Each structure stands twice: as structure tokens, then as C-alpha cells.
Structure 1
Amino acid sequence: MYPISAVYADYLKRHDREFKVKLQVGAVTYDDTSIVDFTIDNALSLTDGLAIGTTNLSELKIKLRTQDEIPSNAMMVPYLAMDTGGLAWNQAAYPWNQAAITWAGGGTEWLPLGEFYVDSRERVNDVWVYTCYDKLVYADVPYVSGLSYPATHKAVWDEICTRLGYTYDSSVQIRAGTITAAPTGYSCRQVLGFIAAANTACLFAGKDGVLRFKRFRGGTAPVIQMTSADYVRVRQTNPVKSYTRVVLTYDTEEGNAYESGSGDENHTLYVTIPFGTQAMADQIRVDLAGFSYTPISMESRGFPHFDQGDELQFERYEGKTWLDTQTPWAATETPWDGVMRYRSIILRQVMSFKGGLKLSIEAPSVSEQQSEFKVDGALTTAINALNKSVVKQGKLYYGASLSRETGLTIDRSDGKARAVLNADELTFYRGSDKALWFDVANNKYRFSGTLEAADGVFSGSLSAATGTFRGSLQAATGTFSGDLSAAGGTFRGNLSAAGGTFSGALQAASGSFSGQITASTIQGGTITGALVRTSATGARVELDAGGWRTFDGGGTKRIGITLDTSYGMSAINWYGESGGVSGAINGQDALFQILANAPMLIQSFRGIQFGGSVDFGGVSVYGLTPDKVVGLSQQLQALWDALNNKSDKGHVHSYTVPSHNHGNAANQNFSYSGSTGSA
């Protein structure tokens, strides 16, 4: 049952209830002015009794009065709400924190009725009639597994849901179990149903589009309590139904099955699981122990929050007068108030909206009034005998099947290989890709995989994308667009390859390689016009026609030996971490240079010798004292001593300063005479 608010539930019980309706199609919303009516059919079982492992599609048929062109396979989501516009204060008997009602009135929350996708459409007069199905319709595709087998039920389930973009809620509880081989030949929807059956459940898409399990168990409480005011009529179609025996068919071709429990046909549940086991059959029987339901057909008031699979309890008045009661006192089970209470289950519900809402509920069962002696007639006997010997279209025979569309098809159970043989196609598949096939248009056999041979002689042209040859390979000519691996071989013609790995001896008179050559050691010969490097990226050394270079771990060039064609010099350049030139050594006939773009340190622990004259270019030298130059300090001291001996000791000079008044006639004239000398 889909959760709704207390206000919504209360309004559903009212006889004066009014519905609000809308339909969401992408970003467009249609209201009751466009919606004529609709019908939604939800079913767990479309047979005449209970079944587990079903994955039935819910169907929506809706009539719209619109001129819009709705896209193909568009998603439609119908909604219902209760109109609360006439709610009075004395009618609002709800807790304050649960009364989500606006002051302006309006309605309750919008209840989604499912996510449906347009399958077909028809225009009748001015009204469009759309037939839609829920998202399980997208599971009707072949299941091709990418898992490694054996695989768990949960892994297979998650692989399908992930591939189809499905989500599921906490009701999906998958028991531990393994599938030994991929269930090929089935759709994704069938495989989901098999896993649901292994868990004694049915699968359906909920009103919010989320996948759910309806698990059948004994001793569960009903989620719906219906009184006689909630339905129009109800009819019990058969006695209470229960199951004490389970027959699990795992091979439908041969009719092989596991049985668990005991009982007649009326109390036997049949289920099909290709990967079923005896343990599964036993567990299903245990789950159904104590489970029962009353088969009914009911016409009810509309309750849009009911889900298929909901277990319900309903009341029915069966009181009689004393005179009309014919049963003994001890066998009479009618309560004093005459109201009997029954338990059933919604195996199918059809909800119709046309201004108002009504609901039809069914819980069918097979009648137990049938013959227990089955005698086959002459025609049935002949057909059964023919079925045992005839080859049928679409039937698998150890992976092989015949059909009018593809002829003979052979599938591996794990999906890794497939063969299709008919007048137009001779193909062996690797998964879904062609591996070996006959190209009818070009009259050639083609191979897209790896060719392995102990030995072989190819007299024509050999073309391969890749190959490993363990024996001797001999070919007159050959073109290889991929990797060629060989232990040894002699090639007498021209060998052209995009790439190749040779673990043995490769001998050729000549060869042209347009791809990659991988080798541990190359000896002798001449390599011209190639790029030689120790690594493709990071720290490496490279050599090509442009020169020799080294790179650091960041890929920055640090040392280069090149020919500077602009100045006619050959040079060794050093580069800093930023990639800029930090220094260089270059030269030509007239000049040899050592250049630096940063402070330079010249240092030797054994001395530096200059073989000729050194020109510092007029640049001042700092830090070079006489004692740093051998013999210079002694020469300077000798020169100073000589100059000192030449000095004239006691020599005196006389001088007279003329009379002056500093330019002021008022001052007294001043004059001075004296002498000076040196010691």
C-alpha cells in the first residue's frame, strides 16, 4: 500500500469526496479540462490462480482532449488528490501537525498512480486514446550477461537493474544462491522473474516507478481493513485456498522438476525456475506454510493507494434468523452481530476514473472440482510421441535452435560464443562481435581475432590485425596491421608490419616498418632518420636529427647539443627549471665562447692554468688581492722600499701670507710669515 496522509485517508472514506486529477508528460501538465477518463490495470497474476515469479506489466489507458503532439514512448504519470475546498473547522478532526492543508483550501498531496510509457495511440474524433505500460516493458530484451559464472542471484539481479536503469526498494530481499551458467535464451524480465520466484515473490513496478517484491508468507497481517461501506458487492468464487505442495520445473523441454511437500492438485503450486534446485523448492514450501486466501471478486469504491499484492480483510453480513439457520449449534460460526470477516489478497485490480473513482478487485483460484484421473486420447498420445522426436523451431538442443529468420543458431550458455549458419550468413561470434565469417559481397573469409598455429605455409598474401606464431611461419608476402609475435621464422619476401614482438630470430633482406618495433637488444647496422630516446615521457635522453637533449622528470629540457644555424655555431646549452637558457658553450673559427645568464662559479681544487693571455674585457675584478697572485706581493714590497729610500728628509719650505682685511676697510690688515717641512 502506498503511504498517504491522514487527511487523504479520511477523505477517501467520505461519501461526498471529490477528486482532483492531473497528468504529467515531461514538462507539460494536463488537468481535468484535458483528461476525459483513464483506466489502470495492475496484476500479479493473469491466470486463474496464484502464481509466483510473475513480472506483469501495469497498463494505463487514458483519453486526452489535446492538440499537442506527445512524443513516442513519452513517460506519463497520472496523479490524484482529494479536494479539500469545502472543509469546515468542525470537520478537521486531525492532529495539528498532520493537517497539511493550505488556508486557501485546494487539495491534499498528489498521489502518483505509476510511471507509464506510451506504446500506442489512436485518435477517436477529437480525443486521443493512449495505451501505456510501466517501465518493466524495457526489460523485454535478451539477457546477455557480462558476469563470470557461477554468479550469485544478487549479482545477476544488480547487473540487469544497472543496465536498465532500474531502482528497487527494501522489499527486494534476495536470498543467497548461485547460478552455474548464464541464463541465455531469456529476456531480462524473465530472469528477474526467476529470481523473484526463488524468493517466493512476484515483481512489480510501484506507483513511484521503483521495483518492489510482493513476498508470500504465512502468518502476515492484512494491511487493509474494509467494511461493508467500502465496497459495493463481493462474491466468494471458491473455498479458501492454501498450498502444501510445490512443484519446481527446472527443465521445461523434458519436464524435469523438483517436488516438495504433499497434497492434491488443488493444494499444489507450480513454479518454473531454469536454475532451480531442490533446496529452492523446499524453501518456497516453507514460506507458503500457513498462507491462505479467500478467492473473491469485488466491486469497490476507489482506493488509489492500494497496490497489487496487498493482503486485505473485509466484512460481510451473513446473519440469519433462528428459523433460517439449518446448521447444528456447534458447527455454526456466524458471530452474534452476523458480520463475518474474511482474508484475501489483491491479485488483480482495475481502477477506473471518470469524474469519480471505482475499483475492481480479483483474487481468483482454480476450482477443485475436476477429474483426478487424466486419460490421454489417441490424438494427445500421438502429439506427445511426436514432441519427443521432432525438431522444433525455436527449441534449444544443446544450445542449437532453428528459426525461419536465422536458420541454425548455436549459443553457449555463458554468452561468450555464438554461431549463425544459413544461406546468407556463415558467422562465428565472440560475444556480440564477429570473429570468423564469410564476406558474401567480397567473396572472402574474414577473421577478426588472434590466429595461433603450430606451423603453417601461406602461399598467398597474409593479412592480420594481431597474431602469435609458436611454430615456423613462412610467407611469400605479408601485410600486418597489428602486432606480430613469432618464436622464429624466415621471411623470403617483403615484411610490412604496423607493430611486432619477436622473441626469436628475425631475418630479412629488407623490410619496411610503418608501426612500432619492440626489441630487447639491437646489434649492428645503421639507423638513419629515427628518434632515439630512453623514455616517451618524464626523465629521458633523446637523439634525433636536431641534436642530443636531456629532460628532467617534469619533461623540461635541461641540456642540449645542437647546431645554431643562425650564427654558424655548434653549441652546448644548459637550461634552468623554468626552461630558459642559463648558460652555453659555443664556438666557430674566429671565436669560442662561454656564456652565462646567471652568477658563475669557477673553482678547482687542483689549480687553474691559463695557457695564453687572458682578456677580461675591461671588467673590474673584485676580491683579487696581491697575496692571491704568486710573487706579486714580494714585487710590490720591493717597489715600496725603493721609493722610501728616495725621500728627502729635513727639507723646509718658507711661505708669506700677504696683508689683507677680508674685504672690509674697517678691519685691521693682517699678514703672516712661516715655514714648513717634512721629517
Structure 2
Amino acid sequence: MFPISPLYKDYLRRPDREFVVKALVGSEEYDSSRIVDFSIENSLSLTEGFEIGTSIPSKLTIKLRTNEIIPANARIVPYLSLSLAGLTWLEAQYPWKDMNLTWTGSGTDWLPLGEFFVDDREKINDVWTFTCYDKLVMADVAYISSLTYPTTQRVVFNEICNRLGWTYDSSVVINSNYRIQAGPAGYTMRQVLAYIASANSASIYIDKAGTLKFKRFTASENPVFDMTTADYVTVKQTNPVKTYTRVVVTYNTEDGLQYEAGTGDENHTLYVENPFATQAVTNGLLSTLNGFSYLPLTMDARGYPQLEQGDVIGFEQQEGTTWDETVSTWQDTNIPWDGVVRYKTIILHQVFSFAGGLKMSLEAPSVSEQRSEFIVEGSLTQQVNKLNKDALKEGKSYYGATITRTEGLIIEREDHRSKAVFNSDELTFYRGSDKALWFDLPSNRYKFNGTLEAVDGVFSGNLQAAGGTFTGDLRAAGGTFTGTLQGVNGTFSGTLQAASGTFRGTVVAGRVEGGQIIGSYIEGADILGAKIRTAASGDRIELDPNGFTFYDSGNARRVTLGTNPSANISGHTYYNSSGQPQGLIYAGASDMYVIGNNGLLVGATSGRTVMQGQVHFSGSVTGLNLGIGQISGLQNEINSLWSAINGKASIDHTHSQYAVNMTYDSTTKNLKLFNQNGSAIATVNLG
């Protein structure tokens, strides 16, 4: 029951009550001068009996005098208030702190009657009739869960409410142990919400303020509103009191698989359909509903707008009889002395109608005991039931396969990880929501997006991929591969050509152009236009079309080997640790060159350095320490010089010379000889 103020509650009971009405349509307010009438229909059951796990949208039918264009799905909220025009100070016997009245005494607070959205409209003369439903209809969309399963019913319930932007109150009680094992495929959000409510002995509805609520049914619930004989016009009992002591839950309608709990005949059995049910869920339903009973009836009464579907109400009925009319035994007769008998029932269907005043009709239907025990099927019913068993139904899932008018044959996993759609315009395999393998009708091609794996097979034509991993043996007579070709091992025969890519494993024979090759063994192959590195960084050797390059641990270039076509030379260039060139060795047209950019040291740490052939010094030479016998022809020149000097010297004078030092002047081409004391002993012109 929706909460109202004490003043509102008291004035509803007055025989002279007078309603004031308004409606908020979008952002505009319509008063009673433009509201012709309206009716509101609320239900927890649309069958002939009691149900749980329902989610039935409430319906508003309202007539407005308006020339304004009200858009589709416009929000309409009707309100009711009670006029206080005749209230006097002596009649206002209410606690002061509970009153919220204006000095004008116009009326009580406004009671909302629900939040509705325009679905259909019709105009007769200047009056528009709008048919509206509450926001439960907005949940009639496919539920594609993004959760990881299995998960709890509470988590699924929250995901749906968050997507819809709905709020719910404390009436929503979900057992924390109840779980859903796999993603619900083929169900709408409203169906999933209803199944969760069903597992927790409840139905769902939207209250008058637009909040999602559970109506939880229990055997021990007391009335929330009591009606006297003055509050209703007629009441008609349609069946004896209905009581439930047994619960049967069908969790697989195709194979008729069920759980059950409790004992009782068909008349005392509650049947529930819930694909999320378990034996524990069924036992929980019996624990809550065992002994639940209500009086089946129909009633026409004064309107009490605070009542909601699912409310348990009590009412009085005059059933006095005379002593002569009483035929029961004394001990079995239970008649109050005032002749008024009190009953309890539940509102399963109600309709509020306003046309200046407010009236309501209530229903609590039930199936008779005879119909519960003996269901007689006519010939047409028998054929329909047989057809239901044998025929495939549109939109119904058979182990994940569904046939619809819009998409044809659909095969989908419960967790939505994969789906296949087959019709005349589409042949598609989906991975989640993405296409994995499909026929592209405009381009007349089959397309694949994912990993292609086969034990063996033959591919003819061009196999082209932006990227991918190939395991096993890939054999081709020819073809062009674009993107990344990767394999742990395998044999490639023919020509393997790629603009780029990474090859892993062993490449035997064949021809590979472009890309990067990573492997421990390459045999008999031509590698063209590639870059080869012994390591990705640090100490390494790299080979590319420009030549060889050697790097140190600091990634500095130390030695290069290559050609310079413009200079028509080839050779080595040497660099220091900073990457600056220090010298080079290269071959010219007819000579070999050894050049140091700063200095050049030629020598041996042991043994001797031999310079074969004619040696020509184009600059000064210093630091030489040579023996006479090491210079070709020098000993003969010295001997001749000695002979000339010896003829001029004193006969008694002797001079011994065992070693000389020498310097050479390239400008004058003079060779000067010095003795061991550093004194010049001779100058020889070598020009």
C-alpha cells in the first residue's frame, strides 16, 4: 500500500469526499477542466488463478481536451487530491505537526497514481484518448549480459536495473545464495527480472512513484487495509478459499523437467516456470508459500487510490441467518453475534476509474477444484497441444537454435560468446558481437576475422592476411603473404615472398625477400632485401643492403664494411666509442689505402713488420732506428765512402763505426748519418 498522510487517509473515508485531479503531461500541467476521465489498470495476474514471477505493466487510459501535439512516449503522471473546502477548525482534529495545509484550504497533498508513457492515441472531435503503459514495457529488449558466469541473481538484477536507469526499494529481497549458471540467452530484461522475482517468491511491479518493487507472497501476511460494508458496493465469492501446500517448478519446458516440494493434490499445487530454478529454490518457495491462502472474489468498491496490486486486504460481509435457517451442527457453527463475517483476500487485478468521482474494481481469481483435478481437452485443444509438441515455433530457442522472421536461423550460446545467423542475405558466424566468418554479399567474398587452424588441408589461390599465427606445416607452390607470418616450425616449398613480417622457426631452401627472420637454422636460402642482426641491441653485427656494421655494448657503431658507388670504392671504416670515424681501409681503382684520420700506427707486438715492395715516403719520417744492413744498398755506399775517407786519413789513425742513426729530409732528399755520440758523420743525397 502506498503511504499517504493521516489527513488524506481520513478524508478518503468520508462519504462527502470530493476529488481534485490534475495530470503532468511532459512538462505541462493539465487540470480538471481539460481532463475528461481516466482509468488505471494494475495486475499481478492475467490468468484465471494465482501466479508468482509476473511483471505486468500497468495501463493508463486518459482522455484530454487539447489541441497541443503530445509527442510519442511522452510521460504522463495523473494526481489525485481531496478538496478541503468545507473543513472547519472544529473538524480539523489532527495533530498539528502532521498537517501540511495551505491557508486557502484548497486540498490535501497530491497523490501520484503512477508514471506512464504514451503508446497509442485516438482523437474523437476535440478529445484525445491516450493509451499509456508504465516503464516495465521499456525492459522488453534482449538481455545481453556482460557479466562472468556463474554469478548471483543479485548481480544480474543490478546489471539490468543499472542499464535501464531504474531504482528499487527495500522490498526487493534476493537470496544471496541463488545463482545463475550461464548467461540467459534469448530472454528479455523483463523476463529475467521476473524469473529472479519468481525464485524469491515474488512478482515485480512499478509503484505509483515510479520505483521498482517486489510483491513477496507469504503464508502469514496480515491485511494492510480493512474494508467495511460501507466501503464496497458488491462482492462476489467466485470459489472456495484457495490454499497451496505443494510447489512444482518447471525449469526446462522442452523436456518437461521439474523440481517439486511439498504434498497435496492438483487443487493445492502452485505451478511455476523458471529456467533459473534449482531444488534449493523450490524448497525455498515451499517454505514461504506453504499454507498461503486467499478468498477468490470480485468486488466493486469506492476508490481507495493508495491500494496497490498484491496488497492483502480484509473486508466484512453481513451473513446473519435466523435460527430456523441454520442447518449446521452447533459445534460446527461459527457465526458472530452481530452476523458480520470477516474475510481476507489479495488484490491480483484492480481497475481505478475516475469521472468526477473515483471507483475501483478488484479481482482475486482462482481455478475451481474440479478444473484443477480434471482438465477436459476438446478435439481442437488436443490438436493444438500435439502441434505444440511436434512443431518448431517461431522465436523459441531449441538448444540454442531459434528461427525468426527477421534473421532466419539463429544459433547462439547461452553466454553469448558465439552466434551463427543464416538467411538469404546473411551467412555469418559471430564471436561475441563481432563477425568472425561471413559471406560479404556486395564484394562476393567470404571473409574471416580470427585464428585459422587446421591439421592439414590445401589452400588454392592467394592466401593473404594482415596478421596471424600459423602453426604446423605450411606448404605452397607460390603466393604472396602480406602481414605477419609466424610459425613454430614447418617446411616451405616454392617461393615465399612478403613485404614485411616475422618468420620464426626453421627455414629450409626457398627464397625469402623482405621482412625479419628469427630462427636458429637457415639452409639453402636466398635472403633478399632483409636486415640481419645477431642481437636486437648491445654487442651485435648487422647486415643490411648498405653492408655490415659492428656495434659495441653501448650501441655505438665501431666498424662498417660496405661500398660507396659514387666514389667507386669499397672498404672498412673504423669509429671510436663515441661513434666518430678514426680511419678507413679501402680499395681504389688501382691502389689499396690505409688512412688514419688523426694518427696511424703500424707495428707488431712481437716479431717483425715486413713492408714488401718499394716504399715511398711523401712526408717526413721520424723515430726510425734501423741497422745499416736493414737498408738496401746503404752498406755499399758506406763502404765506398769509407774507402774515400780512408785514403785521406793518417795511416796511424783508426776509426771504427758499428752503428749509425739517420734522418731523412724529404724536401732535399738528404740522408744524414750520426754516430753513437750523436755527431754527424755523413750526408748522402738520395735524389
Q: Same fold (TM over 0.5)?
A: yes
Q: How much has 1:354 moved relative to structure 2?
A: 1.1
8 Å CA contact 2:122–2:129 kept in 1: the answer is yes
Does residue 521 in structure 1 map to residue 536 in structure 2? Answer: yes
What's the RMSD between the two structures over aligned residues?
Answer: 3.2
Mapping for residues 205-604 of structure 1, pairs under 5 Å: 205-370=206-371, 372-373=373-374, 388-452=389-453, 460-471=461-472, 478=480, 480=482, 485-487=486-488, 492=495, 495-496=498-499, 508-510=512-514, 521=536, 523-525=541-543
Q: How much has 1:172 moved relative to structure 2?
A: 0.5
- Report the Cα distance in structure 2 between the residues aligned to 1:3 and 1:115, rounded to whole angstroms: 16
Structure 1, residues 509-543: CA drift from partner, whole Å, max 9, x if none?
3369xxxx9x9716514599xxxxxxxxxxxx999
Q: Which residue of 2 aligns with 1:60?
A: 60
8 Å CA contact 1:486–1:501 kept in 2: the answer is no
- Report the Cα distance in structure 1 between the residues aligned to 2:372 and 2:188, rounded to whole angstroms: 36
Q: How much has 1:179 moved relative to structure 2?
A: 1.6
Q: How much has 1:18 moved relative to structure 2?
A: 1.6
Q: Which residue of 2 aligns with 1:165?
A: 165
- Report the Cα distance in structure 1 between the residues aligned to 2:379 and 2:94, rounded to whole angstroms: 71
8 Å CA contact 1:494–1:511 kept in 2: the answer is no
User: Taking structure 1 as reference, are residues 391 and 293 closer, same or farther at Cα in structure 2, changes over 3 Å only?
Assistant: closer
Q: Which residue of 1 aligns with 2:187?
A: 186
- Report the Cα distance in structure 2 between the residues aligned to 1:208 and 1:117, rounded to whole angstroms: 14
User: Taking structure 1 as reference, are residues 36 and 217 closer, same or farther at Cα in structure 2, changes over 3 Å only?
Assistant: same
Q: Tell me which amino acid in the other structure corresponds to 1:2.
A: F
User: Taking structure 1 as reference, are residues 524 and 34 closer, same or farther at Cα in structure 2, changes over 3 Å only?
Assistant: same
- Report the Cα distance in structure 2 between the residues aligned to 1:381 and 1:485, rounded to whole angstroms: 63
Q: Computing the radius of gyration over CA atoms, which structure comes out larger, 1 or 2?
A: 2
Q: Which residue of 1 aligns with 2:133?
A: 133
- Report the Cα distance in structure 2 between the residues aligned to 1:289 and 1:391, rounded to whole angstroms: 37
Mapping for residues 34-45 of structure 1, pairs under 5 Å: 34-45=34-45
SS in structure 1 at match of 2:314: strand
Q: Tell me which amino acid in the other structure corresponds to 2:417.
A: K
Q: How much has 1:36 moved relative to structure 2?
A: 1.0
- Report the Cα distance in structure 2 between the residues aligned to 1:382 and 1:10, rounded to whole angstroms: 57
SS in structure 2 at match of 1:23: strand
8 Å CA contact 2:117–2:132 kept in 1: the answer is yes
Q: Which residue of 1 aligns with 2:204?
A: 203
Q: How much has 1:40 moved relative to structure 2?
A: 0.4
Q: Tell me which amino acid in the other structure corresponds to 1:407.
A: G
Q: How much has 1:388 moved relative to structure 2?
A: 5.0
Q: Tell me which amino acid in the other structure corresponds to 2:165.
A: G
- Report the Cα distance in structure 1 between the residues aligned to 2:174 and 2:4, rounded to whole angstroms: 28
> Given the two structures, how large is their TM-score scaled by the length of structure 1?
0.72
8 Å CA contact 1:236–1:296 kept in 2: the answer is yes
Q: How much has 1:486 moved relative to structure 2?
A: 4.5
Q: Which residue of 2 aligns with 1:46?
A: 46
Q: Which residue of 1 aligns with 2:680?
A: none
User: Taking structure 1 as reference, are residues 349 and 371 closer, same or farther at Cα in structure 2, changes over 3 Å only?
Assistant: closer
Q: How much has 1:351 moved relative to structure 2?
A: 0.3
Q: How much has 1:54 moved relative to structure 2?
A: 0.4
8 Å CA contact 2:37–2:63 kept in 1: the answer is yes
Q: How much has 1:494 moved relative to structure 2?
A: 5.2
Q: How much has 1:349 moved relative to structure 2?
A: 0.7
- Report the Cα distance in structure 2 between the residues aligned to 1:153 and 1:65, rounded to whole angstroms: 46
Does residue 124 in structure 1 map to residue 137 in structure 2? Answer: no
- Report the Cα distance in structure 2 between the residues aligned to 1:163 and 1:444, rounded to whole angstroms: 38
- Report the Cα distance in structure 2 between the residues aligned to 1:375 and 1:317, rounded to whole angstroms: 37
Q: How much has 1:64 moved relative to structure 2?
A: 0.9
Q: How much has 1:258 moved relative to structure 2?
A: 1.7
Bigger shift: 374-383 or 317-326?
A: 374-383
8 Å CA contact 1:181–1:414 kept in 2: the answer is yes
SS in structure 2 at match of 1:330: coil
Structure 1, residues 448-487: CA drift from partner, whole Å, max 9, x if none?
2344456777654444354222345567555757x66544
Identity %: 55
Q: Tell me which amino acid in the other structure corresponds to 2:364.
A: A
User: Taking structure 1 as reference, are residues 462 and 85 closer, same or farther at Cα in structure 2, changes over 3 Å only?
Assistant: farther
8 Å CA contact 2:266–2:372 kept in 1: the answer is no
8 Å CA contact 2:241–2:294 kept in 1: the answer is yes
Q: Tell me which amino acid in the other structure corresponds to 1:253.
A: E
- Report the Cα distance in structure 1 between the residues aligned to 2:327 and 2:398, rounded to whole angstroms: 62
Q: How much has 1:153 moved relative to structure 2?
A: 1.2
User: Taking structure 1 as reference, are residues 474 and 279 closer, same or farther at Cα in structure 2, changes over 3 Å only?
Assistant: same
- Report the Cα distance in structure 1 between the residues aligned to 2:409 and 2:20, rounded to whole angstroms: 57
Q: Tell me which amino acid in the other structure corresponds to 1:412.
A: R
Question: Structure 2, unaligned stretches of length 5 or more?
Answer: 517-530, 547-554, 558-577, 579-687
Q: Tell me which amino acid in the other structure corresponds to 1:366.
A: V
Question: Structure 1, unaligned stretches of length 5 or more?
Answer: 529-540, 544-560, 562-679
Q: Tell me which amino acid in the other structure corresponds to 2:218.
A: R
Q: Give the paired residue count.
A: 528
- Report the Cα distance in structure 2 between the residues aligned to 1:527 and 1:32, rounded to whole angstroms: 91
8 Å CA contact 1:24–1:76 kept in 2: the answer is yes
